[in-house]
Structure 1
Amino acid sequence: MFLWAMFRQYFSSILGDRLGVHAMKLVSIFYPYIEITFFEYTGQRLKRSEAYAAVESYLSASSCSKHARRLKADSDRSGSGSGSGSTLILAMDDHEEVIDSFSGAKLYWSSQIAPSKSHAISFYPSSPDRRFYRLSFHRRHRDLVAESYLRHVLDEGKAIGLKNRVRRLYTNNTSYDSYDFRKLGWSHVNFEHPATFETIAMDPEKKRDIVDDLIAFSRGKEFYSRVGKPWKRGYLLYGPPGTGKSTMIAAMANLLDYDVYDLELTAVKNNSSLRKLLLEISGKAIIVLEDIDCSLDLSGKRKKEKEKSEEEEKKIGSEENTESKVTLSGLLNFIDGLWSACGGERLVVFTTNFVEKLDPALIRRGRMDRHIELSYCDFEGFKVLARNYLGINEHTLFEKIQRLLEERNITPADVAENLMPKKVTEVAGSVEVCLTNLIQALMESKLNSAKGEEEMLEATVAKVVEEKESAAPST
């Protein structure tokens, strides 16, 4: 070692590198082990390697990690999304080695760090150093490792990762910086919404049909491959405000154990940026565009834009135009164009309060495969809410409430607000009060509605009279 250091100091680096290569060839003749390296970040995509993540999950859960002397612990939540508390995830510490066995072969895993050789700014998020796992095995097991063992590790690691993963709620970042990749793409928080289909106020038959359709989609990989379609499905949720569209999305995510990507179109710079966001979306995901009729001007039925005034043109010329330039064509390609096939097992969900405002091309069958209307609360939905909020399945006031619900429209959100006890610790004593409050709200809603209908009728009559007077010939 002393002589090699002196040699490298006084002789050229090129000669030293050549001698190093020949030295490695000489050592390989007597060294019978082969090494495979899995880096945490590879290539130019600046994205964490899926193979590295699978190896990390496999080693954390396999029996070989029980023999590791040095472990690192990280606090994490279970993937149930129910807020059930934190657990400790144990993984191999840096510079630790464990031994695994497979079909009679011994395999050596070690966790290493490759220090950066440059003082330049690193593009890797965690640190300038690059972490990696190294697999070492005897050369006689090469075929076994290449053909069976690596596939076993990746499959097991991915399955363990999906089982233990934390479901997340993503949103696209609003700032764009070509020098800092961390400001691009998606940011996230843990998804812990408690909504389920059991707690949704909806007709039971309609609810069961939606659940069956979602489960069939999640199990339909082979079917979609056989018919030649990307593994995705579109849902259009429409109805008045307060009818549970966002709650329905949360229930879908909890049923299928999917991540949620809440896409804010007004924050997307152009169609190219929209495609980049699409490429960063993982599988097992729900892509949500809420209030699609308000996100962009997508409701104009492809009419030509009106000419702008000279003052507006001057203003646009003098100021930077920061509005989104995503077009209807770009959004359609995002949903079911060629780029939409980059990835699988995705749901695309649109929500809107005014479905008639949307361009027909945006919601046709094939793009939005299921159109689900979430309407006002009926008696079946009320019983679900009464069971959720008050813990009751029947009451003497139910008959009166059923009659009022048939006569008057009220949203599930309004019903839930009236059923909310003032003291959640004293629900039993609040049942009569809450049901009475709901009856009063229904009666007031009926009265206000009748007054509104009367005013609307008077306005219509006045408009007809005015039109007749204007159409009459002047004397």
Structure 2
Amino acid sequence: MITFDMFSQFGSLLASLMFFWAMYQHYLPSKIREAIEFYASRYTHKLVNYFSPYLAITFAEYTNDRFNRSEVYTTIETYLSDKSSMEARSMKADYIKDGKSLLLSLGNNEEVVDQYCGVQVRWSFITEYSSSNPYSFYPTSDEKRYYRLVFHSRHRKFVLDSYLPYLLEEGESIAIRKRRRKLFTNAGNDGPDWMGDRGTMWSHIEFKHPARFDMLAMEKSKKQMIIEDLQWFQEAKHYYAEIGKPWKRGYLLYGPPGTGKSTLVAAMANLLEYDIYDLELTAVKDNMQLRKLLIETSSKSIILIEDIDCSLDLTGQRNKKKAKEEDNREKDPIKNPIQEAEGEKKGSEVTLSGLLNFIDGIWSACGEERIIVFTTNHMEKLDPALIRRGRMDVHVEMSYCRYESFKVLAKNYLKLESHPLFETIGSLLEETDMTPADVAENLMPRSVKISKETCLENLIKALEKVKEESKLKPKKEATSEQDKEEKSHDSEDRNQVET
């Protein structure tokens, strides 16, 4: 029971403490006070930590290099964004460039709980200001921000070996899912301003192509094969590590123009949520620049080289071309040296060997989870070493439109799954070669007044016209050959008369 004497004793004790504190503040030299406070806080902190079973790890926003933000800090901030929106009472929102939405993070001195495999940890966000400017509106060099992870000491090994690697991997995955995907292109190499965005060799725009696999005019079995292969590749990181190969895959798309090769690449990027690097080989100066371009590509991306048979002389014809130029130079030694030098400067010096090293050489392992895609209209023109299995792992033939592909286009353009005219169209497609692009152009209603049946009839007329032209083509070719023979005979007779 509390009595009056106890209150009196407590009051006298409090007064004594206040007296000694005033003496300490006013009469003790400042240097002695600072030394006492330093050692008192130091050993008090050690004493508390000695008896506390909890450990703490601090992740600062900036490390020794004050100009570059820590990637680990950014990854933790991204990982905790979902936790912050669900549990925290105090949050801050930042707009991240190239992000799809605002990034929510913990407010100052806010704390959230995270649980992984039954182990519970606590995350807190702390901001420290200098005493000279504690309420600065703008971040200054004296402001320090960091995340603190607190966990029980018995989980030390689990947190270091399992939880933190999981957190970093999951944070990177979240950042990739929330980013805006990009379409890159390599800048030209003429002049001092050939560098792209932020001094890199690539410039980019936002990738917004709407293509999906269910929209592609392809056989269902072929589409399913490609989808399964892509999904397998996306989850095959450990498999590639076990077999000792870089985590990449090559696709060769070949077929006539207008068969949907570029659209297939866009559908692949949308399925996997990858960026696309559209590499223009004619703008690459030499093999060294090609290697630098490869190094600057990111993971989770598709490297696309379109019309590779037209980009460079990669089929052995380059040597013949050089030999022919040397012969012409010997026959015509009088040549403008300035023009010759400019021609050599503008031409690309990328070789077949350099391109092969780009695809699966030692430098191809500088990144992971990448798909390299070649497209060509003439597969027979390519060097066999360029398209062999191991470099181009999957060969996909993009053929002319057939009945199964037509049904996909009819569903996309006319919202039709069946019609009496489908049978006629199907038989014509088996007899004629028309690309999906041409079929789609005939199916597209160019006016609200045009009915779906009219679009189908227009396609039938176009198919019948192509069929008739294909019948007349051999006759025209035979006639042209006959004309050539007659002209050659006439020239021979003329030569004989002259002699």
TM-score class, shorter-chain normalisation, is: 0.7 to 0.9
CA distance in structure 1 between the partners assigned to 2:396 and 2:284 by the alignment = 27
2:381 alignment partner, one of 337, 357, 364: 357
Q: Aligned with 1:311: secondary structure? A: coil
Is it true that 1:74 corresponds to 2:102 in the alignment? no
Question: Which residue of 1 is the match for residue 250 of structure 2?
Answer: 234
Question: Which residue of 2 is the match for residue 381 of structure 1?
Answer: 405
Structure with the higher helix share, 1 or 2: 2
Question: Which residue of 2 is the match for residue 444 of structure 1?
Answer: 465
**Contact 1:41–1:130 at 8 Å: present in 2 too?**
no
Q: Deviations over 1:390-447 (max 9, x none)?
A: 11112121222122212221111011011111236x7xx6211101111111122223
CA distance in structure 1 between the partners assigned to 2:392 and 2:455 by the alignment = 39
Q: Aligned with 1:109: secondary structure? A: strand
CA distance in structure 1 between the partners assigned to 2:143 and 2:391 by the alignment = 42
Question: Which residue of 2 is the match for residue 399 of structure 1?
Answer: 423
Deviation at 1:288, TM superposition (A): 0.5
Is it true that 1:215 corresponds to 2:231 in the alignment? yes
What residue ranges of structure 1 are gaps of 5+ in the alignment? 1-22, 79-85, 115-126
Q: Aligned with 1:62: secondary structure? A: helix
Question: Which residue of 1 is the match for residue 451 of structure 2?
Answer: 430
Is it true that 1:159 corresponds to 2:170 in the alignment? no
Deviation at 1:215, TM superposition (A): 2.1
CA distance in structure 2 between the partners assigned to 1:132 and 1:356 by the alignment = 62
Q: Deviations over 1:168-220 (max 9, x none)?
A: 22222335559998232323222221111111111222222222222222222
2:340 alignment partner, one of 297, 316, 321: 316
The one-letter code matched in structure 1 to 2:364 is: S
The one-letter code matched in structure 1 to 2:300 is: K
CA distance in structure 2 between the partners assigned to 1:430 and 1:439 by the alignment = 15
Deviation at 1:263, TM superposition (A): 1.2
**Contact 1:168–1:189 at 8 Å: present in 2 too?**
yes
Is it true that 1:288 corresponds to 2:304 in the alignment? yes
Q: Deviations over 1:326-369 (max 9, x none)?
A: 22211110100011112222111001112222222211221111
CA distance in structure 1 between the partners assigned to 2:180 and 2:163 by the alignment = 27
**Contact 1:37–1:132 at 8 Å: present in 2 too?**
no
Distance 1:88 1:76, change over 3 A: farther
Is it true that 1:62 corresponds to 2:76 in the alignment? no
Q: How does 1:161-180 map to 2 (within 5 A)?
A: 161-174=175-188
TM (norm. structure 2) is 0.74
Is it true that 1:278 corresponds to 2:294 in the alignment? yes
Question: Which residue of 1 is the match for residue 147 of structure 2?
Answer: 135
Deviation at 1:269, TM superposition (A): 2.8
CA distance in structure 2 between the partners assigned to 1:300 and 1:236 by the alignment = 20
Which deviates further from its counterpart, 101-110 or 55-64? 101-110
**Contact 2:87–2:112 at 8 Å: present in 1 too?**
no
**Contact 2:301–2:371 at 8 Å: present in 1 too?**
yes
CA distance in structure 1 between the partners assigned to 2:238 and 2:209 by the alignment = 31
Question: Which residue of 2 is the match for residue 266 of structure 1?
Answer: 282
Distance 1:221 1:201, change over 3 A: same
Distance 1:131 1:461, change over 3 A: farther
Question: Which residue of 2 is the match for residue 334 of structure 1?
Answer: 358
Question: Which residue of 2 is the match for residue 121 of structure 1?
Answer: none
What residue ranges of structure 2 are gaps of 5+ in the alignment? 1-36, 50-54, 131-138
Question: Which residue of 2 is the match for residue 11 of structure 1?
Answer: none
CA RMSD of aligned residues (A): 4.0
**Contact 1:65–1:92 at 8 Å: present in 2 too?**
no
Q: Aligned with 2:110: secondary structure? A: strand
Question: Which residue of 2 is the match for residue 15 of structure 1?
Answer: none
The one-letter code matched in structure 2 to 1:375 is: S
**Contact 1:284–1:344 at 8 Å: present in 2 too?**
yes
CA distance in structure 2 between the partners assigned to 1:105 and 1:402 by the alignment = 63
The one-letter code matched in structure 2 to 1:454 is: K
**Contact 2:91–2:104 at 8 Å: present in 1 too?**
no
Distance 1:185 1:386, change over 3 A: same
**Contact 2:88–2:112 at 8 Å: present in 1 too?**
no
Question: Which residue of 2 is the match for residue 182 of structure 1?
Answer: 198
Distance 1:469 1:178, change over 3 A: closer
Q: Aligned with 1:303: secondary structure? A: helix
Distance 1:42 1:326, change over 3 A: farther
CA distance in structure 2 between the partners assigned to 1:42 and 1:322 by the alignment = 44
TM (norm. structure 1) is 0.77
1:225 alignment partner, one of 234, 241, 253: 241
The one-letter code matched in structure 1 to 2:408 is: V
Is it true that 1:461 corresponds to 2:482 in the alignment? yes
What fraction of aligned residue pairs are identical, expressed as a percent?
45
Question: Which residue of 2 is the match for residue 118 of structure 1?
Answer: none
Question: Which residue of 1 is the match for residue 15 of structure 2?
Answer: none
Q: Deviations over 1:125-160 (max 9, x none)?
A: xx9989985234679859465445533431331232
